[in-house]
Structure 1
Amino acid sequence: MGTFIQLVIDGLSTGSIYAALALAIVLVNQATGLINFAQGGMAVLSAYIAWALNGFGIPLVLAILIAIVASFFLGALIERYLIRRFERGDPDTAVVVTIGLLTLITGVCAWIWTYNNRLFPSLFPLETIKVAGAVISVRSLGTILVIVAIMILMQALFLGTKLGLALRAVAINPASSAFSGINVGRSLMVGWGLAAVLGAVAGVLVAPQLTLTPGMMDSALVYALAACILGGLTSPIGVVVAAWLIGVLENLAAVYIPFIGHDLKIAVPFILIFVVLIVRPQGLFGRKAVVRV
């Protein structure tokens, strides 16, 4: 039982990192209707900024806050001066642009800081506690609580604020939103900025668990996209639950299913995706899109 509890908690912690990126992807999708593949690269850049500031003697919490603010403005500027040129064109073109942006940001990080592994200090104590025979790290619990707080705030943003309603309206019909008095350009910039903030949170959460490298978010981005498909791009709560499900099932399958083990555990989310797409194409918590013709 102790091993089972530990696997579940560790899976929830890992899934929380996937969830942070997935929430950023959902936020951009809700604001623009696009899938932002550059989210992982933006998260890495934010983590490097926080690490560099901390290296200059700035306290870690303050360095992370500065990196988060910088990420917001970076995301807004990317939307204003790059993505906006492609948002109203072919959606496939905009997706390719975000993939190119991912490659560019990763390359810039490697050029400035090289591919050497960097140690990133943890926000949470490295202590452990015992629960029912399982040894659980405080960092894992802290990561889970951070994602729960973000999930609640995002759900409140989309359902209970004018900004959230404006973001959803702009994504569905920009022209009608503009006629209703919504500043479409500003809403898009804010959406990308907030998504960059979520990416920054994901970056500073994952960097202490791995090591800080330009490609550290590559696998997390794949899992985040899987969580978006499983949970549904219209539901912040859905993608968080899906990310947790992926993290937990991946851990359990690696230990309790011998032919999967640690080598094939990456197949778990893709098997889940195939099943969900067959049974419920809009995702576990997503809404069906109704199109009038």
Structure 2
Amino acid sequence: MQQFMTTLLGGLTLGAVYASFALALCLIWRSTRVVNFAQAPMAMVTTYVGLEVIEATGSYWLGFAVALAAGFVLGALVERLLVRHVEGAGDLNIVILTLGLFVALHGLAALVFGSDYRSFPAPFGLKGLHVGGHNVAITPFGVFTIVAVGIVLVLLVLLFRSTDVGLRMRAAAFSPEVARLLGVRVGAMLTLGWALAAVVGSLAGLLIAGGNLVFPQYMDSVVVYGFVAAVLGGLDSPVGSVVGGLILGLVLSFVSGYVAGDLVPVTALIVLVGVLLVRPGGLFSHVAERRV
């Protein structure tokens, strides 16, 4: 029973991490109809920025805020300076651009911040909670991770369902020509979409880094698992992204805990292929996108 609870709680924490990255992919997909494969190295760069601030000031929360702000600026700059020049030239061009950016940011981070392993602090304890005389296999930072993902989910749902800005972002993504005729500043909405997605991605980078070692490639595996989580829940659904991340985290945790840790990547691949074969739109997809 103890092993089961440990595996379960570990899976929930791991799933929340995957969900945070899946939310970033979901946000940029909903707001720009682009899958940004450079999301992970962008988050890695902003995490390093936050670490530099933390080491210089001794304040975790100041570094946390600066990292999120850096994500916003970086996302906006990437859209304005790079992505905008290939918009309308085909979806494949943007995908290739993000893959190239993936490689370039790794090299840039190694040059600026170095390739050595560096310890990233956590704002809360990393020891299991003690409840009712029993040790619980979840840390205060794990609780913080789950709560942070829940807050981001609520904010994204409110953004797209209850605000004019969210409606304009989706209109700019789905039909930019019609949106322009209706007075929507399409360029500004696309920039905002990239900026907000980078903020969520930066949060994912901070959650993954907390209490661990960081180096330029520390988020590379998250690209795979976060993408699988987003596809599992549905790239167009924030709720689906979180549910997909939690499901994937639980599945991989139980496979690692009861079968073999070496099978975790294979299991993720099986989940991805199974979803694409059975329900390509994801578990929370409602209707297929209509194409003219």
- TM bin, normalised by shorter chain, reads over 0.9
The answer to whether 1:101 aligns with 2:101 is yes
Task: Report the identity percentage.
Answer: 36
CA distance in 2, matches of 1:48, 1:73: 15
Partner-residue secondary structure (3-state), 2:82: helix
Q: CA deviation at 1:2?
A: 2.1
**Which range moved further: 129-138 or 67-76?**
129-138
**Which range moved further: 125-134 or 196-205?**
125-134
Alignment of 1:93-132 (within 5 A): 93-130=93-130
- Aligned twin of 2:16: 16
Among 204, 213, 216, which residue is 1:214 paired with? 216
Ranges in structure 1 where 5+ consecutive residues have no aligned partner: none
- Aligned twin of 1:174: 176
Which AA in structure 1 matches 2:167?
L
Count of residues paired in the alignment = 290
CA distance in 1, matches of 2:291, 2:98: 29
CA distance in 1, matches of 2:3, 2:139: 14
- Aligned twin of 2:261: 262
Which AA in structure 1 matches 2:230?
C
The answer to whether 1:193 aligns with 2:170 is no
- Aligned twin of 2:275: 276
Would you say the 8 A contact 1:9–1:140 is kept in 2?
A: no
Would you say the 8 A contact 1:250–1:269 is kept in 2?
A: yes
CA distance in 2, matches of 1:115, 1:283: 37
Which AA in structure 1 matches 2:228?
A
Which AA in structure 2 matches 1:269?
A
- Aligned twin of 2:25: 25
Would you say the 8 A contact 1:246–1:268 is kept in 2?
A: no
Q: CA deviation at 1:58?
A: 4.7
CA distance in 2, matches of 1:162, 1:230: 28
1:81-139 alpha-carbon deviations (Å, 9 max, x no partner):
11011121110011010011111111111111221100001022224214666432111
**Which range moved further: 120-129 or 153-162?**
120-129
Alignment of 1:127-142 (within 5 A): 127-130=127-130, 134-142=136-144
Which AA in structure 2 matches 1:146?
A
- Aligned twin of 1:243: 245
Which AA in structure 2 matches 1:229?
V
Partner-residue secondary structure (3-state), 2:86: helix
CA distance in 2, matches of 1:235, 1:224: 14
1:234-260 alpha-carbon deviations (Å, 9 max, x no partner):
100101111111111111112223xxx
Q: CA deviation at 1:157?
A: 0.9
Calculate the TM-score normalised by the size of structure 1: 0.95
Would you say the 8 A contact 2:25–2:35 is kept in 1?
A: yes
**Which range moved further: 125-134 or 86-95?**
125-134
Ranges in structure 2 where 5+ consecutive residues have no aligned partner: none
Q: CA deviation at 1:31?
A: 1.4
The answer to whether 1:51 aligns with 2:62 is no
- Aligned twin of 1:286: 285
Q: CA deviation at 1:18?
A: 1.4
Would you say the 8 A contact 2:106–2:217 is kept in 1?
A: yes
CA distance in 1, matches of 2:90, 2:137: 51
CA distance in 2, matches of 1:290, 1:255: 39
CA distance in 2, matches of 1:202, 1:292: 33
CA distance in 2, matches of 1:31, 1:170: 7
Partner-residue secondary structure (3-state), 2:129: strand
Calculate the TM-score normalised by the size of structure 2: 0.95
Q: CA deviation at 1:292?
A: 5.0
Go from structure 1 to structure 2 and tell me whether the alpha carbon gap of 1:102 and 1:229 turns closer, same or farther (over 3 Å shift).
Answer: same
Partner-residue secondary structure (3-state), 1:234: coil
CA distance in 1, matches of 2:96, 2:171: 24
CA distance in 1, matches of 2:144, 2:271: 27
Go from structure 1 to structure 2 and tell me whether the alpha carbon gap of 1:242 and 1:209 turns closer, same or farther (over 3 Å shift).
Answer: farther
